[in-house]
Each structure stands twice: as structure tokens, then as C-alpha cells.
Amino acid sequence: MTSRRDFFRHAGIAGAAVAATTVSRVALAAIPEPVIETAADTRGPLVPPTGRPYNPVVTLNGWTLPWRMKDGVKEFHLVAEPVVREMAPGFKAHLWGYNGQSPGPTIEVVEGDRVRIFVTNKLPERTSVHWHGQRLPNGMDGVSGLTQPAIPPGKTFVYEFVARRPGTFMYHPHADEMTQMAMGMMGFWVTHPKGRHPLIAPVDRDYVFLLSAYDIDPGSYTPKTMTM
């Protein structure tokens, strides 16, 4: 008979093993180049160059992360890293984010897409990415210490799953998340419906705007994470 404690211990080991095996040497050798954006200007909608067509969103004061298609899989590369964002003329906040920006770039996919996201950690501590609201395999849920080992600094982890749920969601860490989210680590995830959807009305243009509040003492430039 297996006790409740043994069950969770073995489940945790199995989950860690599954997560660890998702990053093969072959996959890392084929990692796509990251796209970095340092200006916080609103970029125009990214018309899909490959994959299924959709009506793209406009991210206010942001942009959509480009991808590449490889053997029918939509591949992205997220880089978790310290960033500097000018909140007002002359006032630059030292934040954490993705691909040069905080909030990070919007990720747009279509319902039914198989997606592969390479996440490289350039932070001074471990991190992970939780795909908030997604229906996916447990090992891809991005909760460090539970569904995967945390991504150490300097390492890359590969998430792969099928986008099954249309709607507007977000991604964020689940590793020291109270600090990392307070430092600005989050971004939009948009899954476009593959056809007419009973709960999603067709629109001419979608806009997304992610609001964050920071408590920064004058002269410090760094948010006080305990008052996020």
C-alpha cells in the first residue's frame, strides 16, 4: 500500500523527471534567436507571416513576440532578464521582465496550435513560467518545485503544449513569484479562436493593456517588492 506522503513524493519525482527530459540537447542546439525590444513604444499588430491566420492584437506600449514555424510547431524564445524602463522623462525604473521589456511581449497563438517556448533565465535567481489559464499537461504548468524544477540562472527550459482554450490570458513566474511579479515579470497570452466562437464576438481591432503599480522611493529606481 502506498501512503499519501509516498504518493506525492513519487509524483513529484516523476514530474521532475518528465520536465527535465523535455530539454534535450537536440532541442537546445536548435534554439531560435531571441528577439529583444528596448523601446516601450506601441508596435503595430504583427500580421501572422506563417501558421493559421488571425486578427492580431495591438499591445499598448508593447509588442507581439515573433515566432518561427518548425515542423508544424510555433516556436518562441522568452528571455527572463533585468530591464530598465523609463516611467517618466528622466525617471528610469530598474525592473525584471522578458526580452528587454516589462511587461513582457504579448504571445499570440491560434486555438489548436502546438507551441514550443524556449525560456532562458538571465536573472540572478531561479525562475519559471506559468501559463495562466491554459489547459495543458501538468509538467508544462510552470510551478517550480511542484510541476518542474526551477530554471537556474543561465539555463534554458523548453515548454511545449497545444493551445486549446481561446481567450486573453497572461504568463508570469511561479518561482519566488511575489518578488518576481512585483518586479514586473508578466505578459499577455492571447489564444485566437480558430473559427467563430459562441463566447468571443468578432471585432475590428483588439487592444490589450497590462497595468502594473510600483512603489519606488525617490532615488532608488527599484520597486519595493513587499508593497506590490
Break the chain into its structural domains and give their ranges: 4-227
Query: What tens digit of pLDDT does each residue of 38-95 get?
Result: 888 999 999 999 999 999 999 999 999 999 999 999 999 999 999 999 988 888 999 9
| Size of the chain, expressed as the number of residues it contains | 228
Identify whether the C-beta of residue 143 lies closer than 8 Å to the C-beta of residue 174: yes
Instruction: Measure the CA–CA gap between 119 and 107, rounded to whole angstroms.
Output: 13
Instruction: State phi, psi for 180 to the nearest 5 degrees.
Output: -70, -40
Closest CA to 142 of 125, 130, 158: 130
pLDDT band, very low/low/confident/very high, at 5 (cuts 50, 70, 90): very low
Closest CA to 109 of 166, 63, 159, 157: 166
Query: What tens digit of pLDDT does each residue of 127-159 get?
Result: 999 999 999 999 998 899 999 999 999 999 999
Q: Quick one: fold of 4-227?
A: Immunoglobulin-like (2.60.40)
Q: Quick one: pLDDT at residue 203?
A: 81
Query: What tens digit of pLDDT does each residue of 86-122 get?
Result: 988 888 999 999 999 999 999 999 999 999 999 999 9
> What's the distance, CA 148 to chain centroid?
15
Q: Quick one: pLDDT at residue 27?
A: 57
